[in-house]
Structure 1
Amino acid sequence: MLDFTAVVPSIPYILKGIGITLQIVVGATILGLVLGVLLALCKIGKITILRLLADFYTSIFRGTPLVLQLMLIYYAIPQLFDIQIDPMPAAILAFGLNSGAYISEIIRGGINAVDKGQLEASLALGIPYTKMMKDIILPQAMKNIMPALMNEFITLNKESAIVTVIGALDIMRRAVVVGGSNYHYLEALIVAGVIYYIMTLILTFLGKMLEKRMRRSD
């Protein structure tokens, strides 16, 4: 029988993990977005070495488990450089580097979807490539790929639960701690699942609102 009475007093403790989860997700998203833009520009650019390096980077981070990347950063960096890295920075770095690989493909697809006439007209008018990408191509691409970017953000929010393996006190880790303290793991994990589900619903709603606003601004 489920007995949530043993877990209810600890729900505020679990809820405090929302702040940790959001810090990781927001920090990783910012890092991933910046990195994704740079990688996408390298992939569509004419410099062969940069294009090959960007493709290689993407293949590595898309081809290996995220939990492996997280543990390599958390355990290998201290071993290699004799420094200590806390769980939060390690999580943001790992998620950001991983997310950048996926976002780069999303942005590359968005850029390629922009009407070629825009590019040709800009070149005909003598607009510098950097200015053209910043002011003309990328803004249009971002509108096209906003649903995919929001989906990546929501996925990152759920995948952030794996930081429990390095001891970060996020929602999942706190639920495990509560379960271990009173031996009601199932109830504590159900509470954590409900919290993640509600967060996903909220992020989905905010994403749809942002999409509608961007469509109205066209």
Structure 2
Amino acid sequence: MDLLRAIAANQGFEVDIKPLGFDAALAAVTAGQADGVIAGMSITDERKKVFDFSDPYYQSGVQMAVAKDSDITSYQDLKGQNVAVKTGTVGYDFAKQLGEEIGFTINAFQDSADMYNDVATGNSAATFEDAPVLQFGIASGNVPLKVVTDPEPGADYGFAVLKGHNAELLQMFNDGLKNAKDTGAYQQIIDRYLAIDDTAPVDNSFWTLVKTSIGPLSQGLVLTLLATALAILFAMILGIVFGILKLSTNPFLRFLASAYVNIFRGTPVLVQAFFFYFGVPAVTGQPLDALTAGVITLSLNAGAYITEIVRGGVQSVDPGQMEASRSLGLGWAPSMRRVVMPQAFKIMTPNLINQFIITLKDTSLLSVLGFAELTYQGRIVIASTFRSFEIWIVVGVMYFIVIWLLTVLSNWVDRKFNK
């Protein structure tokens, strides 16, 4: 990211960086949601079929690391063991081929921090990772592993764009990279991460970590609340409309409402998020930002559950209420609005509060789209500190406080208006 920012400053273009998992980053480029990817992506013949690459900006290789107290010293010692790798990487391909020869199984992860923790906790015996990433993590003091092999001869890293697209951006990257190397800026960036002074004092205390991370985590919390509020607003509209349609005497309208509910209750939220963020733009050619795709996903998903809540609430109202209203001369719509729905909402309130809380928690799934909510910001902090245990505690506490406050507020509203 530092290299890309330096190149952007030199070449005079702006860059908006979206830290995603490796697989999601490639999907974002192929779907047109991102212009390029720079994520330790090795230049291979297979990838050249889909992407155009820049000049190499770093030469790396796969390296093996184990827990500090491990007796494993070679690849042969991995026979019958579990090995942690990151999906979609050269390390994964290397481990898969080696595992077939030696006889070990693979545990695949999306993030380096999770992979390292799997080894540190003893669930995996070793990990294969790109050498610079692994060396930085160990040198920072936050990855309790040790390297036991030299890096394997590896491919070069390159900046990639979708094949046949963004040729101007690729040329600007190459020109900026050459300038960075000529001026020494490139080497300064490399030294910033890999030439770490072991004698320099490092404050790795928990409270220092909280102090440095609370800013981005708070920004993520604000976006979490924004996405939740928008999703709940649209979900309520959808839930009321389709809930009433499910009670219609028209079989087509009932079928339409049932199909909507079955589709969005019968598929995982994450699949729906990928569909709207990656799938729809790939078909329509019109990109969606992460907030829009996320709100659409959460609204449609929560709306399906609220549909059933509304249907059940309306059916729980004594049918005599509608009959009495109609006998007094009110039409069906005014009777629903003034007589049935107010009573139904009293019945629905506990279930609606529960659905609101579920929707707030489901915003964490939007982190895979690059939406900078609370979980996403937590992943960003972990990516630079590798201290996932402490950060997830802080993130969990923040979620708990917000949900507790939402519950208290909802219960107060329930008591105030549903006496």
TM-score, normalised by the number of residues in structure 1: 0.95
Choose from 50, 54, 76 the match for 2:257. Answer: 54
CA offsets, 1:118-171, max 9 Å, x none?
A: 011122223111111111111111121111101100111111100011010000
Q: Which runs of 4+ in 1 moved over 6 A?
A: none
One-letter code aligned to 1:153: F
- 1:171 aligned residue: 374
1:145 equivalent to 2:348? Answer: yes
Q: How many equivalent residue pairs?
A: 216
Q: Which has the higher contact order (CA 8 A, sep 6+)?
A: 1
- 2:360 aligned residue: 157
- Structure that is richer in helix per residue: 1
Distance, in Å, in 2 between the alignment partners of 1:175 and 1:198 is 16
1:120 equivalent to 2:323? Answer: yes
Q: Percent same amino acid among aligned pairs?
A: 34
TM-aligned CA deviation for residue 98 of structure 1: 0.5
Tell me, what secondary structure is at the counterpart of 1:16? helix
Distance, in Å, in 2 between the alignment partners of 1:140 and 1:153 is 20
- 1:6 aligned residue: 209
1:104 equivalent to 2:316? Answer: no
Distance, in Å, in 1 between the alignment partners of 2:283 and 2:205 is 47
Query: Contact 1:44–1:108 (CA<8 Å) still a contact in 2?
Result: yes
1:211 equivalent to 2:393? Answer: no
Distance, in Å, in 2 between the alignment partners of 1:144 and 1:7 is 42
Choose from 281, 296, 299 the match for 1:78. Answer: 281
One-letter code aligned to 1:213: K
CA offsets, 1:179-200, max 9 Å, x none?
A: 1111212211111111001111
One-letter code aligned to 2:400: Y
Give the alignment's Cα RMSD to 1 decimal. Answer: 1.3
One-letter code aligned to 1:194: V
Distance, in Å, in 1 between the alignment partners of 2:404 and 2:338 is 33
Distance, in Å, in 2 between the alignment partners of 1:124 and 1:98 is 38
Tell me, what secondary structure is at the counterpart of 1:85? coil
TM-score, normalised by the number of residues in structure 2: 0.50
Distance, in Å, in 2 between the alignment partners of 1:85 and 1:215 is 40
- 2:389 aligned residue: 186
- Largest Rg, 1 or 2: 2
Q: Which runs of 5+ in 2 are unaligned?
A: 1-141, 143-203
- 1:66 aligned residue: 269
